[in-house]
Amino acid sequence: MADEWKKESPKLAVVVPCYNEEAVIGETLTELLDVIKRLKSSSAIDEGSFIYCVDDGSRDRTWDCISDAHSGDATVKGLKLAANKGHQNALLAGLLSVRDSVDCIISVDADLQDDINSIVDMIEKFSEGYDIVYGVRKKRAADSVFKHYSAALFYKMMHALGVKIIYNHADFRLISRRVVDSLSTFGEVNLFLRGIIPLIGFRAASIFYERKARKAGKTKYPLKKMLSFAWDGVTSFSVAPLRLVTAVGAIIFLATLAMSAWALYSKIVGLVLPGWTSTVLPIYFIGGIQVMCIGIIGEYLGKIYMEVKARPRYIKDMELF
């Protein structure tokens, strides 16, 4: 049992989710191939190690670029999904597709924002016996002021809600094969890998790097997608909003008791002031609270609905292997 999964020169797959990345994918692959070659020549990784690009239903020439790279060097392999399923699902498709043929997998974005030279350090940590190596950004110099603060708020909120995510870590990480095997047993449709990986356990380490600006192309995470991603993160891992509803309900109930006592007292003492405000304000107040509560419950109901359907998280179109 001991450390049989640990290998001298582990076989590595680098999984790269790509969505409309024609502007940058060529350069990314050239740089990645360079790192892989260096690692192979120093015997840090197995000769059969490879890069696995997952084309997440791109509408530009991304798949052609991947095919061209594959023809030039079979170290580059690829998977084309039949439709755009989002970053997390594309990543999962890659992880699950390669897990049987490798010892460890590194996931990295297609835009070279993460420092791919850190791959060397990740492999070193893996050889030391760590199953998970998180790539953690040192600072967010390349991000806009808004992204910087919104991200910090997001991490704080997640922690306050009890979700164990690693501060300033996105999806640049190494995981061992047994972590991916464990991951495959999580059947959820609303996938938030940053929350799930720390839940799995095993020995984990972090390496630190400078996050750069996108090499080319545009971000695929506009504000709307970012907010929906953060909200998914909260509602997929925490029932705190539901508890909040209960707490608000309880407080209102107590307040209503006090109000009733006061009304009764006023009537008995003869302080009858039949005002419009005192009638209408509670209606607005209670109405607002009720709608908010129904909304939050609806959010979870929607989640349950999606999970119960258990639709496939991705559909494969073709593979270059």
Contacts with ligand UDP, residue ranges (CB under 6 A): 17-19, 21, 56, 84, 86-87, 90, 109-111, 113, 219-221
User: If contact means CB under 5 to 8 A according to the sort of partner, which of Mg ion, ligand UDP, none does residue 78 touch?
Assistant: none
Looking at beta carbons only, is 80 or 177 nearer to ligand UDP? 80
Q: How far is CA 65 from CA 51, 71, 103, 207, 238, in A?
A: 14, 10, 27, 31, 40
Residue 88 touches Mg ion, criterion: CB under 5 A: no
Residue 113 touches Mg ion, criterion: CB under 5 A: yes
- Shortest Å, Cβ 236 to ligand UDP: 17
User: If contact means CB under 5 to 8 A according to the sort of partner, which of Mg ion, ligand UDP, none does residue 87 touch?
Assistant: ligand UDP
Long-range (24+ apart) CB contacts under 8 A made by 159-164 are 161/234, 161/237, 161/238, 161/240, 162/237, 162/238, 162/240, 163/195, 163/233, 163/234, 163/237, 163/238, 164/195, 164/198, 164/199
- Shortest Å, Cβ 110 to Mg ion: 8
Stretch that binds Mg ion, among 9-17, 106-114, 119-127, 158-166 (CB under 5 A): 106-114
Asked whether the beta carbons of 15 and 76 are under 8 A apart, the reply is no
Could you please report the per-residue DSSP string of 256-286?
HHHHHHHHHHHHHHT-----HHHHHHHHHHH
Looking at beta carbons only, is 131 or 171 nearer to Mg ion? 171
Distance CA 135, CA 169 (A): 6
What are the residues whose beta carbons fall under 8 Å from the beta carbon of 20, sequence distance 6 or more? 58, 59, 60, 62, 217, 220
Residue 111 touches Mg ion, criterion: CB under 5 A: yes
Looking at beta carbons only, is 103 or 111 nearer to ligand UDP? 111
- Shortest Å, Cβ 121 to ligand UDP: 21
- Shortest Å, Cβ 237 to ligand UDP: 20
User: If contact means CB under 5 to 8 A according to the sort of partner, which of ligand UDP, Mg ion, none does residue 10 touch?
Assistant: none
Looking at beta carbons only, is 38 or 215 nearer to Mg ion? 215
